[in-house]
Amino acid sequence: MSHNAESTAFRSALEVIRAVEPRVADAIGAELADQRESLKLIASENYASPATLLAMGNWFSDKYAEGTVGRRFYAGCQNVDTVEALAAEHARELFGATHAYVQPHSGIDANLVAFWAILADRVESPALKKAQKRHVNDLTEEDWFALRRELGDQRMLGMSLDAGGHLTHGFRPNISGKMFDQRSYGTDPATGLIDYDRVAEAAREFRPLILVAGYSAYPRKVNFRIMREIADSVGATFMVDMAHFAGLVAGKVFTGDFDPVPHAHIVTTTTHKSLRGPRGGMVLCGPELADQVDRGCPMVLGGPLPHVMAAKAVALAEARRADFADYAQRIVDNAQALADGLLRRGATLVTGGTDNHLVLIDVSGYGLTGRQAEQALLDSGIVTNRNAVPQDPNGAWYTSGIRIGTPALTTRGLGAAEMDATAELMHTVLDRTSPGTGPDGAPSKAKYVLDPAVAEQVGKQAADLLTPFPLYPEVNLT
């Protein structure tokens, strides 16, 4: 039995939980076991440090703290002020930002804070100023009617979902697509790359209030200097959602034209993914938007989560260490090694490779839908997620793509040789999987056929590949 601090802390926590609801304790232990045994290739997931995880399980969870540092609507928040100020300080120093707002609970919350801040800054609306002092759930129908009338048809231009953008960049079923008169820019059909001339043309024609850059499934860098020039040319506010690649910015892998912070009016991000922190969001901006951003609560957010802000402070402090830059570079090196391994085995990759942490495989070359490929890989111990490719004929549910990423496996210590072995395992599964049929005998976009012996063998090889790279080796629950 291990008696180090981490093992003692987690083991003791599970014992306390088990005394109240043993099934929850069992599920927590099972989750650790599952993550230890799986090749986790989901581009938006990572492994937070024990210190970050432990920072979330404490008495800060008991506190209400609406407002901002030094200006709370509840008494007794002096310790919350300390951790929120620390998280904001680390964020400013890490990213070179003037202002950091660390309260958002998620990436979509961060984007909503940014959207409303831009509207409040750019649009003269007494109804909006009234709404900013309240939470959206407290607004009456009359309030919303006045707000919609005064805001009018404000326009937003963002990357389309099938080209790699995110649903919060104007996807119609999302609130961002309902708040704004929205239009999307895509990628070049031949290359899969952003065509900046076409983006500029769309901006000149559409005249958006907000130009959004950033992605969830675009495997290349974005030139934020050019995007800012496009925004300036039409008087738009330039917003960047760097949720996926924030760790690459923090680690100084993306610099100059590819670092969004010096170029954007406002930047949003999650704090997990490549940044390797707790699940949460954050907004960075200059002094012009700082006051509006700080009104995120109560306009969009409810009570902040002080225990998560404490964990953000810990994770951001970790990201300021010298070894984080090495980690960030290895993420990209591993993604490129994984892409090369897949290409050499005949896989088709959107844009033909990657510059960042993710790879997008067009699995139609294997005769599969993304849903079939995702499940066949999961059966074989490889965790991925299906994702649309540009002009996807199968839509956003079944898709034609598989998105994979390297932040999590890089955290475990895997390198280029293991990425090539992973490419071999993935190719084996995809090559040996065939489409299935539905109950009526018709071709199915969900059913598939994979010899269980192949899945079992690949799963064993995946487990063997991970053996030299234990997950949370400092944590022993037995």
Torsional sign, CA 195, 200, 206, 210: positive
Task: Give the Cα separation of 235 and 207 in Å (integer).
Answer: 8
List the Cα angle 58/411/356 in 5-degree steps. 115
CB neighbour class for 443 (10 Å; exposed up to 12, middle 13-18, buried from 19): exposed
Q: Which amino acid is at 109?
A: D
CA quadruple 85, 87, 92, 98: dihedral positive or negative? negative
Give the H/E segment covering residue 434: strand 434-437
Task: Note if the bond before 443 is cis, omega within 30 degrees.
Answer: no
Q: From CA 203, how far away is CA 227, in angstroms rounded?
A: 10
Active-site pick, 40, 220, 228, 273 = 273
Contact in structure between 9 and 49 (CB atoms under 8 Å) = no
446 within 8 A of 371, measured Cβ to Cβ: yes
Contacts of residue 346, Cβ cutoff 8 Å, sequence gap at least 6: 365, 427
Q: Which residues 6+ apart lie within 8 Å of 442 measured at CB?
A: none
Tokens of 364: 């139609």
Provide the 3-class DSSP secondary structure of residue 323.
Answer: helix
Catalytic choice (52, 168, 270, 410): 270
Catalytic residue among 162, 241, 294, 392: 241
Integer Cα distance of 112 and 118 in angstroms: 10
Q: How far is CA 382 from the centre of its chain?
A: 20
Q: Which two tokens stand for residue 259?
A: 């670092």
Catalytic residue (one of 72, 155, 279, 312): 279
In the DSSP assignment, the letter for residue 240 is E
The answer to whether the CB of 103 falls within 8 A of the CB of 84 is: yes
Q: Which of 45, 66, 81, 420 is catalytic?
A: 66
For 220, phi then psi, to 5°, come to -130, 170
Q: Which of 36, 63, 64, 428 is labelled catalytic?
A: 64
- The answer to whether 221 is a known catalytic residue is no
Residues 6+ apart with CB under 8 A from 464: none
64 catalytic per annotation: yes
CA distance 102 to 282: 5
DSSP for residue 236: P
Is 279 a catalytic site residue?
yes
| Rounded Cα distance, 360 and 103, in Å | 32
Distance CA 169, CA 176 (A): 6
Q: Is-catalytic flag, 333?
A: no
Tokens 């232990």 belong to residue:
29
User: Is 265 within 8 Å of 230 (Cβ atoms)?
Assistant: no
- Whether residue 218 lies in the annotated active site: no
User: Which residues are tagged catalytic?
Assistant: 64, 66, 241, 270, 273, 279
